């Protein structure tokens, strides 16, 4: 059945718009002009756009520029946009005009239609819903608001949950000693708690970096309008919008000291993306460590056994794969690619406006969502439930000739190297070879080569040479 239409008009003339659409001619032109990807602007961005429009109505009413009834109708409609009740009314492609004007007008038109219906008189999309605003300050503001809220509500809680899960597992693994590895080769021993502690420390640093970046994202360019001068906006408008946004969202926002910066550049978004890139590197390292530790279980390291979640092969019965670390590593790879896109987009501002704002919004919010979900999956479906194969760890430790490193201060690097090579060549414990080669007391040797003691730094004797 053919979709019925109605006639709408904008400054370019008349256009047919679907009868059931709340938006108008400018949105429809964008739908027709930008049939590029089928990707729509992300939910977090639409939410933030609704919050900005509601806060702008609050500010204009408080300043006496909008009748309170009109502002209330705009605020209620914008609240529906923020809540996600009207997502189907936002059909504009991510790959659109670089300022995001089409998405800004999409919001203006939808909100104006609903406000008009409520009041029974015309509420104008440009003159009233967009009062004191330009796409050039609204869209960057919405990107920053969306990113702050996504980090605050999704990413940071997920990272803290992952870190708490790692720390909880580490507390029970302080006496489990394993062979360390550098260059993927046998190295000095450490405890599983120490290994997990590395992951926890990486996450603590990532959280700190992200929180620091959010401080700059909270400085909004709203009130700068077209180029940063604030043309057509009350000088008090931006501060009042920021205050209203803070009250409506529960997150603190302020008007930026320099409005030109936030319109001409996307440096704050690029910075956050960079920190997300570092986080993706950390999560991929954790995921790959888990894959290596789980590998085998017979022909690989087989140090741990990850939870069995699904069959691993369509042809090899009984095979089980580390599917969660694999999925998380792919999410990390996507976030790294997103950072490359955001970097290029951030460098694509000319003079007073960045012209890749929609793709910044899409990629930044996707990275936040991917990394937040990935962190929770790592915590709940991998780290919380893995089991330790203690016998396998002990077997590898007993045959590790690198333990002889502890004898360097006593017998020197050259003799220790000869002992290690002989132990490896003959497949014998290093303790036995060292006893024969050095004539040192067996009790002394046992203490010096004790893996548990070595994991705590060993016995410190005369300094010896050597490089890791």
Active site residues: 183, 313
**3-state secondary structure at position 298:** coil
Q: What is the DSSP string of 250-297?
A: SS--EE-S-HHHHHH--HHHHHHHHHHHHHHHHHHHHHHHHHHHH--S
Q: For residue 274, which of 326, 325, 217, 327 has the smallest C-alpha distance?
A: 217
Query: Where are the alpha helices (H) located in 34-172, listed in sequence order?
Result: 43-62, 68-83, 101-119, 135-150, 156-171
Q: What is the DSSP string of 185-228?
A: EEEEEEEHHHHHHHHHHHHHHHHHHHHHHHHHHTEE-TT-TTTS
CA distance 35 to 92: 9
Phi and psi of 242, rounded to 5°?
-60, -40
The single residue listed with the structure tokens 């940063």 is 228
CA distance 55 to 82: 11
Q: For residue 266, which of 154, 144, 165, 420 has the smallest C-alpha distance?
A: 144
Whole-number Cα distances in Å, 147 to 37, 43, 96: 23, 11, 20
Cβ-contact 465, 405 below 8 angstroms? no
CA distance 369 to 387: 29
**3-state secondary structure at position 354:** strand
Query: Residue 225, by phi and psi: left (phi above 0), alpha (psi -120 to 50) or beta?
Result: left
Q: Is the peptide bond before 442 cis (omega within 30 degrees of 0)?
A: no
**3-state secondary structure at position 85:** coil
Cβ-contact 467, 414 below 8 angstroms? no
Pair of tokens at residue 433: 């070879």
């Amino acid at each position: 059945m053919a979709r019925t239409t109605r006639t709408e008009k904008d400054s370019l003339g008349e256009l047919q718009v679907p009868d059931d659409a709340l938006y108008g001619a400018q949105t429809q032109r964008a739908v027709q002009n930008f049939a590029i990807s089928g990707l729509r602007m992300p939910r977090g961005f639409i939410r933030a756009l609704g919050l900005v429009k509601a806060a702008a109505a609050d500010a204009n009413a408080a300043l006496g520029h909008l009748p309170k009834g009109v502002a209330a109708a705009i605020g209620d409609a914008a609240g529906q946009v923020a809540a996600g009740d009207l997502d189907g009314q936002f059909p504009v492609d991510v790959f659109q005009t670089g300022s995001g004007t089409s998405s800004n007008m999409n919001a203006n038109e939808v909100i104006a239609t609903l406000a008009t219906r409520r009041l029974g008189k015309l509420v104008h999309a440009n003159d009233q819903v967009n009062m004191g605003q330009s796409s050039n300050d609204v869209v960057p503001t919405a990107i920053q608001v969306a990113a702050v809220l996504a980090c605050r509500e999704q990413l940071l809680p997920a990272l803290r949950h992952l870190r708490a899960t790692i720390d909880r597992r580490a507390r029970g693994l302080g006496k489990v000693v394993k062979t360390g590895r550098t260059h993927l080769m046998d190295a000095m021993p450490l405890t599983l708690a120490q290994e997990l502690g590395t992951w926890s420390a990486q996450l603590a640093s990532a959280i700190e970096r992200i929180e620091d970046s959010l401080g700059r994202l909270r400085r909004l360019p709203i009130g700068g309008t077209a180029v940063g001068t604030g043309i057509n906006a009350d000088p008090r408008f931006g501060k009042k919008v920021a205050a209203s946004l803070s009250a409506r969202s529960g997150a603190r926002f302020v008007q930026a000291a320099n409005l030109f910066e936030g319109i001409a550049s996307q440096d704050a978004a690029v910075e956050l993306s960079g920190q997300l890139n570092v986080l993706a590197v950390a999560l991929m390292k954790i995921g790959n460590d888990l894959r290596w530790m789980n590998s085998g279980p017979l022909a690989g390291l087989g140090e741990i056994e990850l939870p069995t979640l699904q069959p691993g092969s369509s042809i090899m019965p009984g095979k089980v794969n580390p599917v969660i670390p694999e999925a998380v590593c792919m999410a990390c790879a996507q976030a790294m690619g997103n950072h490359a896109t955001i970097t290029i987009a951030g460098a694509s501002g000319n003079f007073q406006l960045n012209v890749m704002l929609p793709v910044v919004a899409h990629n930044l919010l996707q990275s936040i969502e991917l990394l937040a979900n990935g962190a929770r999956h790592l915590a709940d479906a991998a780290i919380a439930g893995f089991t330790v194969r203690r016998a396998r760890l002990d077997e590898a430790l007993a045959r590790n000739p690198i333990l002889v490193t502890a004898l360097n201060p006593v017998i020197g690097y050259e003799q220790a190297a000869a002992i290690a090579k002989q132990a490896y060549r003959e497949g014998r414990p290093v303790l036995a070879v060292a006893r024969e080669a050095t004539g040192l007391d067996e009790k002394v040797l046992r203490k010096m080569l004790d893996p548990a003691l070595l994991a705590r730094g060993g016995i410190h004797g005369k300094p010896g040479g050597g490089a890791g």
